[in-house]
Amino acid sequence: MEIQKAVIFDLDGVIVHTDIYHYRAWKELADRLGVPFDETANNRLRGVSRMESLEIILENGEFSRLPATEKAALADRKNETYKALLQAMSPADLSPEVRGTLETLRKQGVRMAIGSSSRNAGLILEKIGLEGFFDAVSDGNNITNSKPDPEVFLKAAGFLCVRPQDCIVVEDADAGIEAAHRAGMKAVAMGDAVRAGRGDWNIAFFPELLSIFL
Ligand code: B16
Ligand code: MG
């Protein structure tokens, strides 16, 4: 029997550039609190959960000692700002290169899943017109531990009924590359993950994936 191969795509920073909206929403919160935060610090938040992101932003100041309920309220507020920014998204936010590559892989019968730390993955997929496109979606709603823990990718492989060693992950976060390797999967790095240098392949342009997968 032929072994099924599959691709697991990270969402934010790979399929679509919601990373800029995360940045704007965290920046609004950080400025209100008077906590320093810039795009370099933002790179540390890629792939990690909402609450872990907040802990990173608050780590060196007085707010790091806030009670858990107040931290949860800050994270909720950031999420409301983020979701308001997501409302403006539409299928036009899915680039022609990403759409065309996904469609080519679909025609070739490649199994495809989303492996995202985000609890907003369903909303984003709906906004960009990819609701129902993937064979499986593993996201922040079905995991206990976010990247670099391998859970999100192992669950995606399980949903696809494909062995972890037969999956390749596409990631923009160094934490996501580590998660893939800990899951026993190879990983393609793009964006910020290229700089960290731990991917099995590096790409600058999404359609380069076709020469890796086909
Ligand atoms: P949410 P990904 C991740 O998405 C983001 O990279 C990360 O910055 C964010 O904190 C995390 O989702 C949680 O997102 O607040 O929407 O639940 O890159 O794993 O697709
Ligand atoms: Mg990402």
For residue 36, what is the domain's CATH number? 1.10.150.240
Residue 77 is assigned to a structural domain of this protein: yes
Q: Is 203 in the pocket of ligand 1 (CB under 6 A)?
A: no
Considering the domain architecture, whether residues 177 and 193 belong to the same structural domain is answered as yes
- Domains held by the chain: number: 2
Q: Tell me, what's the pLDDT at 3? A: 64
Numbers of helices and strands, H then E, in the chain:
10, 6
Domain end marker among 43, 63, 86 = 86
Query: Which residue's alpha carbon is nearest to atom 8 within ligand 1?
Result: 46
* Domain of 150, in residue numbers: 6-16+91-213
Considering the domain architecture, whether residues 142 and 60 belong to the same structural domain is answered as no
Considering the domain architecture, whether residues 51 and 106 belong to the same structural domain is answered as no
- 3-class SS at 127? helix
Residue 55 is assigned to a structural domain of this protein: yes
Q: Tell me, what's the pLDDT at 1? A: 44
> pLDDT tens, position by position, for the chain (214 residues)?
456 689 999 999 999 999 999 999 999 999 999 999 999 999 999 999 999 999 999 998 899 999 999 999 999 999 999 999 999 999 999 999 999 999 999 999 999 999 999 999 999 999 999 999 999 999 999 999 999 999 999 999 999 999 999 999 999 999 999 999 999 999 999 999 999 999 999 999 999 999 999 8
Examine the residue annotation and report whether 192 is marked as an active-site residue of this protein: no
H or E segment and range at residue 146: none
Q: 11 - beta bridge partners?
A: none
Shortest-distance ligand to the CA of residue 20: 1
Examine the residue annotation and report whether 76 is marked as an active-site residue of this protein: no
Q: 7 - beta bridge partners?
A: 112, 168
Long-range residue pairs from 155-164, CB within 8 A, at least 24 positions apart, any chain: 155/115, 156/8, 156/113, 156/114, 156/115, 157/6, 157/8, 157/113, 157/183, 157/185, 159/113, 159/135, 160/4, 160/6, 160/111, 160/113, 160/135, 160/136, 161/4, 162/4, 162/5, 162/6, 162/111, 163/3
Domain end marker among 68, 86, 104 = 86
Query: Dihedral, CA atoms, 89, 91, 92, 94, nearest 10 degrees?
Result: 100
CA–centroid distance, residue 19 to ligand 2 (Å): 7
- Determine contact, residues 117/143, Cβ cutoff 8 Å: yes
Which residues are close to ligand 2, an ion, with C-beta < 5 A? Answer: 10, 12-13, 172-173
